[in-house]
Amino acid sequence: MNDSAEFQRSPSHFTDRITADGGDGWPVEPGRYRLVVSRACPWASRSLVVRRLLGLEDALPLAVADPVQDERSWRFTLDPDGRDPVLGIAFLSEAYHARDKEYDGGISVPAIVDVPSGKLVTNDYQRITLDLETEWRALHREGAPDLYPEALRDEIDDWMDRVYRDINNGVYVAGFAKRQEKYDAAYARLFARLDQVSEHLAGQRYLVGDTITEADVRLFTTLVRFDAVYHGHFKCNRNKLTEDRVLWAYARDLFQTPGFGDTVDFDHIKRHYYMVHEDINPTRIVPRGPDLRGWRTPHHREELGGRPFGDGTPPPPPPPEEVVQPL
């Protein structure tokens, strides 16, 4: 929050990249790194979806933090003895401080940690998925889709910029506003952009081209949280996702696509937002609704054509240890 009472997202502090040539000192190596996520976090969920679609589960093992962190940061209380079994740490902040013992900023996910040294490599959520799609190609599964095709990158980048500014981050600007006019402005930008996206998607199955791209991944992770938390908790309540015929069908289409819905944990999502944001929800009561069964209903988006994975194939089922409780 700044002096204008408007929410400002802090930039990622650690922006090293893991690349095929190791230009930043971190070469792509299977099994060397650990992806730390919370299934509650939309930014981390991007990396979960992309990792599944590309088949990087073995190459980039996963650590899942408790959705309810405390003042010491994201914690590994879901694991036996409250420690990540590979990194041996109880809190993600330990990897941040192994990298920079003087660091006193925020502890965010997704984060990639170097297992041999225990040091954080990057928390650059805007870059992590793009590098998984481009720099990690040698480790992609056979049949992995191209989520960031070179010929469409300008258009994908344009959509991602607009969606990030007004939707992905826009719900937070509205939800954490401290003055009415700041909330009103964010609310107006959010729904103006959602209306534009809805109109665009009325005539085509995906945001860019006829296949799933990174742009769809980034929009999905906000839409899937919309009715469960953003509509009420963040006061983004002009209408629910389920009340927009196009966006609701689009979101269901993606949710039912392997690699999307099988990474979503609504229990983690709801407990995080309603229990952690005590300034917004001081009682920490977690709502029972909404009814989630609609996510499995027919969407009919296939009538618009399109090929979800392009020339590729769907990912196989998730590893047993990563299966999320089904709806």
Q: Return mean pLDDT, the chain.
A: 96
Report the alpha-carbon distance of residue 327 to residue 317 in Å, rounded: 16
Look at residue 1 and tell me whether its pLDDT is greater than 50: no
| Active-site residue, selected from the candidate residues 125, 148, 172, 230 | 172
41 classed as catalytic? yes
Provide, rounded to the nearest whole percent, the portion of the chain with pLDDT above 90: 94
Instruction: Give 269's pLDDT tier (boundaries 50, 70, 90).
Output: very high
Q: What is the DSSP string of 208-260?
A: STTS--HHHHHHHHHHHHIIIIITTTT---SS-GGGSHHHHHHHHHHHTSTTT
- Average of per-residue pLDDT across 275-300: 97
- Average of per-residue pLDDT across 5-19: 82
Report the alpha-carbon distance of residue 68 to residue 270 in Å, rounded: 10
Report the alpha-carbon distance of residue 217 to residue 160 in Å, rounded: 10
* pTM for this entry: 0.96
pLDDT for 4 equals 54
pLDDT one-digit tens code per residue, 207-248 = 999 999 999 999 999 999 999 999 999 999 999 999 999 999
pLDDT one-digit tens code per residue, 67-117 = 999 888 999 999 999 999 999 999 999 999 999 999 999 999 999 999 999
Q: Which domains does the chain have, with CATH numbers?
A: 33-139 (3.40.30.10), 151-322 (1.20.1050.10)
236 classed as catalytic? no
Secondary structure letter of residue 165 according to DSSP: I
pLDDT for 198 equals 98
